[in-house]
Amino acid sequence: ADGPEGHPRDAGLDVYAPGATDIRVVALNRQRDEMIGYRSPENEDIWEFVTKRPLIPGIQHVYQVYAIYPETGRVPQTQRVRLIMGRIVEVSYKKYESGQTRPH
């Protein structure tokens, strides 16, 4: 995957989540930084995020991805992801069906 536009230490995240009504991405660090993101205008199942500021070398950058589905109300489906400087990481959720969603 190509890197995000901007600073070479920025990181991107593409989330494939068919049927999701909202996606939040929050860093598992003391600052609880959120990534800036939006639903892709070309494909409403894809959400694109980029870090607010360049990542710091030498430490792990782990984020929690929260996917909200109408079927689950306020209970999000979650995954953890490690970002890589200068790269776009991809995360996928299966379409929500009868009771649970599992990453694939």
- pLDDT digit string (tens) for 29-82? 877 888 999 999 999 999 999 999 999 999 999 999 999 999 888 789 999 999
CB 46 within 8 A of CB 12: no
pLDDT of residue 99: 54
In angstroms, the CA 87 to CA 16 distance is 17
pTM score above 0.75: yes
In angstroms, the CA 78 to CA 95 distance is 14
Q: Where do the domains of the chain lie?
A: 12-92
The pLDDT of residue 92 is above 60? yes
Judged by phi (left if over 0) then psi (alpha if -120 to 50, else beta), residue 54 lies in beta
| Mean pLDDT across 13-42 | 93
- β-bridge pairing 12-16 and 88-92: parallel
The pLDDT of residue 98 is above 80? no
pLDDT of residue 74: 78
Residue 15's pLDDT band (boundaries 50, 70, 90)?
very high
Residue 4's pLDDT band (boundaries 50, 70, 90)?
confident
The CATH class, in words, for 12-92 is: mainly beta
Residue with tokens 């299966």: 94
